[in-house]
Structure 1
């Protein structure tokens, strides 16, 4: 469990990813004035659900990064699920995610 938490914290801090394994970012998806950028990454032979929610404000772009426990066999499946989770986050929390 400590290894999982350590890996998760490293991912959130932007550390721990090998440059050679870095995947190109997925296409952004527009949803209710937000941009959802799926950002799955390889984890233990699968792909971790992760992404970025962005929104333009008068003072500039704000973003919220998220990682979920779910893993998927393919990058495409993880990206699709990240979009689903991001929509749920937006519907439940709206702009509070940026606080």
Structure 2
């Protein structure tokens, strides 16, 4: 009976890792944006990685915001929108 409750209420399941929640990467203005929503309290926090090769070296920036969304798909969409805005505003200065 205990295992039934664990399956129903998630007590026995492991949380997906951040790599399991990565969305499809998108190339925008020479930057690669990969949405990576973070599960939190039954919702998903807006998160993405922004990367670009600069001077022969791949630079990364992790974008995490306080915004929470009820679905992974909504969080991925919002992360792409926010990351595009950050790229437009900061460009390569994002990595300084």
Which TM-score applies when normalising by structure 2?
A: 0.79
For residue 92 of structure 1, what is the aligned residue in structure 2?
Answer: 89
The total of aligned residue pairs comes to: 81
For residue 71 of structure 2, what is the aligned residue in structure 1?
Answer: 74
The C-alpha deviation readout for 1:52-77, integer Å capped at 9, x for no partner, is 00001233110110101111011111
Q: Give the alignment's Cα RMSD to 1 decimal.
A: 1.3
The C-alpha deviation readout for 1:14-72, integer Å capped at 9, x for no partner, is xxxxx742224211001000000001010111000000000012331101101011110
For residue 34 of structure 2, what is the aligned residue in structure 1?
Answer: 37
Runs (4+) off by over 3 Å: none
Q: Which runs of 5+ in 2 are unaligned?
A: 1-13
Q: In 1, Cα distance between the equivalents of 2:32 and 2:95?
A: 13
Matches within 5 A, 1:3-82: 20-22=15-17, 23-82=20-79
Contact 2:28–2:84 (CA under 8 A) maintained in structure 1: yes
Structure with bigger helix share is 1
Which TM-score applies when normalising by structure 1?
A: 0.76
